[in-house]
Amino acid sequence: MRYRQLGGMSMSSNDCRFQIGLLGPFYLTIDQEEISPRLWKSKKAFTLLKYLAAKQGQKVSADVLIELLWPDNADVDSTANLHTAIWFVRRILTSKEDPDAQSPLRYANGSYWLELRDGCVDVGLFEQHAKEARQFASSDPEAALSHCESAIELYRDHFLSEDVYDEWTISYREDYQELYFEVVVGYAELLMKQRDDLHAAIKILRDAVKRDPYREELYQTGIRAYIQSERPVDAINLYEKYSKMLMDEFQLEPSLTTQNLILQLKDNGIEEEAVSVTSGTVEPTHGAYVCNRRALQFTLSTELRRLKRHGNNFAMVLAANLKGDDWHHQLRRVFHALQRSTRSSDLICQFSTNLIVLLLLDTNAPQSQILWRRLKGVLREHEVDMSTLSFTLLNSENIEDMEKNLISILAQ
For domain 122-279, give the CATH superfamily.
Tetratricopeptide repeat domain (1.25.40.10)
Q: Are 358 and 316 in contact (CB under 8 A)?
A: yes
Predicted TM-score (pTM) of the model is 0.72
pLDDT digits (tens, 9 = 90+) for 65-116: 999 999 877 667 889 999 999 999 999 999 888 888 899 999 999 999 999 9
Is the CA virtual torsion 20, 118, 173, 404 positive or negative?
A: positive
Q: Under DSSP, is residue 266 helix (H, G, I), strand (E, B) or coil? A: helix
Q: Are 3 and 16 in contact (CB under 8 A)?
A: no
Of 34-48, 71-85, 252-266, 284-298, the range with the highest mean pLDDT is: 34-48
The amino acid sitting at 94 is: T
pLDDT band at 1 (very low <50, low <70, confident <90, very high): very low
| Predicted confidence (pLDDT) at residue 270 exceeds the cutoff of 60 | no
Burial of residue 32 (number of CB atoms within 10 Å: 0-12, 13-18, 19+)? middle
Q: Under DSSP, is residue 129 helix (H, G, I), strand (E, B) or coil? A: helix
H helices present in 156-286, as ranges = 169-195, 198-211, 216-228, 232-250, 256-263, 271-279
pLDDT band at 267 (very low <50, low <70, confident <90, very high): low
Q: Residue 55: its pLDDT value, please?
A: 97
According to DSSP, the residues that pair with 27 across neighbouring strands are 21
CA dihedral 188→194→196→202, nearest 10 degrees, is -10
User: 122-279 and 289-411 share one CATH topology?
Assistant: no
pLDDT band at 35 (very low <50, low <70, confident <90, very high): very high
Query: What letter does residue 4 receive in the DSSP assignment?
Result: P
How far is residue 185's CA from residue 191's CA, in Å, rounded to a whole number? 10
Mean pLDDT of 372-379: 88
How far is residue 205's CA from residue 340's CA, in Å, rounded to a whole number? 29
At the top level of CATH, the class of 18-114 is: mainly alpha
Q: Are 390 and 320 in contact (CB under 8 A)?
A: yes
Q: Residue 266: its pLDDT value, please?
A: 55
* 289-411 placed in CATH 3.30.70.270: yes
- Domain coordinates of the chain in residue numbers? 18-114, 122-279, 289-411
| Predicted confidence (pLDDT) at residue 12 exceeds the cutoff of 90 | no
